[in-house]
Structure 1
Amino acid sequence: MSLAERMLRIDRRIIFLVIGLCTLLPLLFPVGLPIKISSEVRGVYDYIENLPEGSVFLLSLDFDPASKPELYPQAIAILRHAFKKNLRVVAMTLWVSGTGLADQILSQTAKEAGKENGKDYVFLGWSPGGSAVILNMGQDLYNAFPADYGGKATKGLPVLAGVQNLRDVTYAVSLGAGNPGVEAWYVFGKDKYKFELGGGCTGVIAPGLYPLLRSGQINGLIGGLRGAAEYETLIGQKGKAVAGMDAQSATHLAIIVLVAICNLFYFSLRRQQRRHDGLGS
């Protein structure tokens, strides 16, 4: 049996092992491959970067654990940036199934940055009503959220000093995995109460939000794991998103190489067969 025949009959488990290693190793030992920064991701970064210290930054974590691989790194990167700029962070979620995850993300990042709950940031949690919550916040934030996620009264919190409703928000970002999400925040929030809005979403949703971006209805968009990796690169803190992109790139490269090798051996075997048939005749 020739080398080409042996390679074409290789045990598929070996191929699975190669793909598995190409995925796992970059996650454990990130290489940090160069990542080109897109204008849509830079739009969110630049706006936060230019906000004065003490500005009110609203982050709506509108996703649940099913979208964690893509939106968790986005949330971590944005919060790190906001805390580094000493912004007053007001976080919430429109998804009841994502409340625990949102609280975990905010608590973890705040602890890392040495920020104090109630003074530097607040997690409002979830309130029933979906998109109607945005309208309620536009009228009176304290009516929509009389207490934070921990049960402490929101009125009187230092982080909310001077904030009465959404008109007092300097910048808002919705990280959405569906509805309600970025579109709801534009329709019921920015369009009515005139604050600036950025967005983040899963990769599959991103194409549907580009019309909002191109029309200027949102000033930036972080799309999927790639967008999260770009944001991590911009803030100079490479994390899970950059490692994930390394793994994705390595896996794609392995598949391309395997396809090329298999085709090479296939055509080599065909030449051998034609040569053998020619000698036989």
Structure 2
Amino acid sequence: MRKLAEKILSMDRRAIYLLMASAALLPFVTGPLGLPSRVSPEVKAVYDRIESLPEGSPFLISMDFDPASKPELYPMAEALVRHAFRKNLRVIGMNLWVTGSGMAEKILSDVAEEYGKKYGRDYVYLGWAPGATNVILGLGQDIYKTYPRDYYGNETSGMPVLEGVRTLKDIPFMVDLAAGDPGIETWVVYGKAKSMAGGCTAVIAPGMYAFLNSGQLVGLIGGMRGAAEYEALLKEMGKATVGMDIQSTTHVLILGLILLSNFAFFATRRRR
């Protein structure tokens, strides 16, 4: 026992690195593990609100993030767009961060292809326009004046997906996914016409609960964990589920190594 304890205490750090790498790669090799987790009420509220929308309702999603926050917000956006397409909602995509324009376009086009949705009829990507606050205020007055053309240069006027939509008041529900400012707070102050929810990185989520608790947000999806919870509600294990599996397996390994090394330390000390 003493020799085993001494071997544990003198373990080569490269062996620990190898164990950590193996634990991190496990969900990629085996596929998502889908480890059980509790769905928080604020995430369930977003899901329930989209579920309550009648088929064909317009749904606005503003993807206000950049590549730095992709691990948390990209899977979140994919899950929300999947849910909207599954419900046959008319998806209107846009963003206030110019650095995230390409990612937002890819999310919409990739998920639309999965569900066989047609551009201009089932969804539209308005893209980015300068001004942030002015853009939101403009959407509250006239969407077509604010975005006369979409991301691809097509005229927005006459698009079937925007039929009956003139201002934000014509959109029953929207979600803003934010990595900072402009983001959720900007939308709450200047653009909340009807019902709104938010999604954000874990680091800014605590600050958003003030809007949730006051009823200005119907729900909130916080960080990768929130995205994984939403995927669980959709019964589709995606990137967020894999990310949480990686965190779980590596954390379990770290905890195991700490316990093992402490056991070995006290075992050798008693022998002395």
Q: Which range, TM-score by smaller chain?
A: over 0.9
For the 8 Å contact 1:27–1:246, the answer to whether it is kept is no
Whole-angstrom CA distance in 1 between matches of 2:4 and 2:91 = 62
- Is contact 1:27-1:244 (8 Å) kept? no
Equivalent residue letter for 2:20:
I
Cα distance, 1:272 vs. partner?
Answer: 1.2
Larger Rg: 1
Task: Extract unaligned runs of 5+ from structure 1.
Answer: 274-281
Match among 53, 61, 68 for residue 63 of structure 2? 61
Q: How far apart are the structure 1 equivalents of 2:204 and 2:21?
A: 27
Secondary structure in 1 matching 2:38? coil
> Equivalent residue for 2:25?
24
Look up the match of 1:109.
111
Indicate whether 1:9 and 2:35 are aligned: no
1:164 and 1:245 map into 2 onto residues whose CA distance is 40
CA drift of 1:44 comes to 0.5
Instruction: Measure the CA separation in 1 of the matches of 2:11 and 2:75.
Output: 38
In structure 1, the residue matched to 2:197 is: 198
Secondary structure of 2:140's partner? helix
The whole-number CA distance in structure 2 between the counterparts of 1:52 and 1:172 is 14
Shift of 1:3: 2.4
Structure-2 residue corresponding to 1:146: 148
CA contact (8 A) 1:76 1:109 kept: yes
Give the aligned partner of residue 279 of structure 1: none
- How big is the shift at 1:52? 0.3
Query: Does residue 164 in structure 1 map to residue 145 in structure 2?
Result: no
Q: Secondary structure at the match of 1:173?
A: strand
Matched AA of 1:169: I
Q: Which residue does the alignment assign to 1:37? A: 39
Q: How does 1:1-281 map to 2 (within 5 A)?
A: 2-29=3-30, 30-190=32-192, 194-273=193-272
C-alpha displacement at 1:34, in angstroms?
1.1
Q: Counterparts of 1:50 and 1:269 in 2: how far apart (Å)?
A: 62
Instruction: Provide the rounded CA distance (Å) in 1 between the counterparts of 2:36 and 2:184.
Output: 29
- Matched position secondary structure for 2:185: helix
State TM-score, norm by structure 2. Answer: 0.97
For residues 144-183 of structure 1, the C-alpha deviation after alignment (integer angstroms, 9 at most, x for no partner) is 1000001000000000011111111110100000001111
Structure 1 length normalisation: TM-score? 0.94
Question: Structure 2: how far apart are the matches of 1:168 and 1:59?
Answer: 14
Amino acid at match of 1:77: A
Query: How far apart are 1:86 and its partner, in Å?
Result: 0.6
Aligned identity (percent) is: 56
What is the distance in 2 between the residues matched to 1:205 and 1:182? Answer: 10
CA shift at 1:28, angstroms?
Answer: 3.0
Tell me how far 1:36 sits from its aligned partner.
1.0
Aligned partner letter, 1:214: N
How far residue 26 of structure 1 moved from its aligned partner, in angstroms, is 1.5
Following the alignment from structure 1 to structure 2, what is the Cα–Cα distance between the partners of residues 3 and 219? 56
1:278 paired residue number: none
CA drift of 1:32 comes to: 1.1
